[in-house]
Chain A
Amino acid sequence: MNIIVCMKQVVDLQQVRIKRDTRQPVLEGLPLQLGDMDKNALEEAVKIKEKHGAKVTVLSVGSIKLKETVLQALAMGADDATIVVDAVCDGSDPAPTALALGAAVKKIGLPDLILLGEGSTDNYSGQVCSRVAEILGLPQITYVRELSLDSGTVTAVRDMENALDVVKAKLPVVISVTSEINKPRRPPLTQILRASRKPLNTWALTDLGLSPDTVGSASSSVQVISNLAPEQERKGVIFEGDVIQAVGNIVDALRKEGAIA
């Protein structure tokens, strides 16, 4: 059984600074890591491997820095990794990302299972799973928090707003998982050291039979005209010291504003 896990390299969002004058985010130089729920997807793949036996391939699209970032996935238990590196798909746009992922999956060979996080940690568009499934002509099951496999069929519990939906589909299928599905392992040092010895393929878009133009036009399908921190007009009245007094002051202020009756 073959499993491909699609993962994304994202900046550490806790470290994003906002320029005070322009409200623009500063992303340069921030540490890169794999997406949170992408790690849940990988963990699930490794668990399936441990239970049923499988080959787990990690696939990622992005900048050349992936060469380092993806080592973490190899340390967590993936057997090999393929990265697609091209300036055109260096951004966070789901349409070109899905095109590149879809083409790379075809080149690797259609697996039994494709696993992703339900959304990326930074953009959270949730489009990539659906787009990849459509490109490959496969059924999709999203928001999965429990997964089991039995002779060519997958049974999944989907976490919807008001219900848990139990669904079934024949393999191959594209599945996105939520963070409730498992707790990603922290690889021991020995695995981290061995990770760099596992196979790591690097492809360009042209290796996938995709022209930078095709991917480029997909990436211009949505134009971002601005991306700014929301304007916050908060009062910022912070009390320190005597908390009893502070509560009194705040309750009075809230009453004056009509925030409490």
Chain B
Amino acid sequence: MSRGILVFSEQDEGNYELLTKASEFTSQLGEVYALVLGQKEQVTIQSLVQYGAKRILTVPGVDPNTLDAESIAFVLSEIAKNSGPDILLIRSSRLGKEIAGRVAQKLGAGCVTDAISLEIKGPDLVAQRYTLGGNTISSEVIMTTKKVISVMPRSFEARPGQSAGAAEVKELAIPSPRVEMVERRKKTSESNNVESADNLICVGQGISRKEDLVIINEFCVALHAELGCTRPLAADFHWVSEERMVGISGKKCKPKLHVSIGVSGQIQHTVGIMNSKVIVAINKDKDAPIFKIADYGIVGDLYQVVPEFTRRIKAART
């Protein structure tokens, strides 16, 4: 029998998602703990309780933005070691994923990162994650007593009302970080909703010049869609901002409608759009792998197809 689940995310929404999921497992896996870094309003603590936290550990008097993975991993391991909670659920943000490996090593724990689902099957807690660059999904069970799992953001819905009543709150201390934060530069590019959009259009190397993106943008406007792209368009050509890169090292999206334009369909990209409800692909190469995962496809010149799509959608809306 597990001695509880410890949840950690550096941001509130992440905590709520993980607490909601952890609360579903309480009868099998034990009570839910949450760690809060820095001074938080009483109302935040109260929200954690509403999403299911039974024991809340706080580290007041620190600026969480100045902490490094090592110091946060230390606090988590102090809570979890010995008779503390056996299971750690950490939001798989970049920081969270980095903490996961470090705290797992401290605890001698097995670790699964970037889990996309969690399920109890018989005696086991089974986590699923993409492997082989997105070619496969593996189902994994951690065999050590202590278990560390980092969970992809937005894998679970956050629902309040998991628990009623007060939680126990306890204060902890944290060691000072060995990696010093000098400066945080907010990314200048505009914020976007690529990950949460209902409609997503992704463009790849089929587009031959940056100026031609204008026809893609017109299509986005007509379809009320967010623009995403493959890695080369952002990282190599800098035609589209990196925050719009979709795939294994970029955004993972679950749109209702996804239109893929001039994208060959390499697995490192398609893993980011695999969970779309409907996929439409446009590519001039009939053997492009993208057609294998498409509901609808057009083998043809995107410079012909895209403006026609835009025209039809606009016509349908008026």
Contacts and interface: CB of A to CB of B under 8 A. Distances in A.
Interface of A: 13-14, 16, 18, 25, 27, 92, 94-95, 98, 119, 121-131, 133-135, 139-143, 155, 159-170, 173, 178-180, 220-230, 232, 234-240, 243-244, 246-248, 250-251, 253-255, 257, 259-261
A126 B135 CA distance: 18
Contacts of A248: 312
Contact of A259 (B137, B257, B286, B298): B257
Interface residues on B, range: 35 or more
Interface of B: 68-70, 73, 93-95, 97-102, 104-106, 109-114, 126, 130-133, 135-144, 177-187, 191, 223, 235, 242, 248-249, 256-257, 266-268, 274, 277-280, 286, 291-301, 304-305, 308-309, 312-313, 316-317
Contacts of B178: 139, 169-170
B135 A18 contact: yes
A247 B101 contact: no
CB-CB nearest 5 A-B residue pairs: A130-B101, A221-B110, A127-B101, A134-B105, A238-B297
A224 B138 contact: yes
Interface of A is mostly: mixed
B103 to A, nearest CB: 8
Nearest to A223: B141
Nearest to A125: B113
Contact of A163 (B98, B184, B248, B295): B184
A142 B97 CA distance: 10
Contacts of A227: 131-132, 136-139
A236 B144 CA distance: 43
B130 to A, nearest CB: 8
Contacts of B267: 13-14, 16
6 contacts: A14-B267, A119-B249, A143-B94, A167-B68, A225-B139, A228-B138
A223 to B, nearest CB: 5
Contact of B309 (A92, A119, A235, A251): A251
Given A14-B266, A236-B292, 17 more contacts: A18-B136, A119-B249, A130-B104, A131-B104, A139-B178, A140-B179, A141-B179, A142-B98, A159-B94, A221-B111, A225-B141, A227-B137, A230-B137, A237-B295, A238-B294, A239-B299, A254-B257
Contacts of A125: 101, 111-114
A259 B106 CA distance: 48
Contacts of B101: 94, 125-131, 134
A229 B268 CA distance: 14
Contacts of B95: 160
B140 A223 contact: yes
A164 B181 contact: no
Contacts of A160: 94-95
A123 B133 CA distance: 6
A164 B280 CA distance: 34
B69 A13 contact: no
Nearest to A219: B110
B140 A165 contact: no
A221 B133 contact: no
Residue of B68, B70, B100, B179 with most chain A CB atoms under a 10 A cut-off: B179
Contacts of B280: 250, 254
Contact of B132 (A122, A130, A155, A255): A122
Contacts of A128: 101
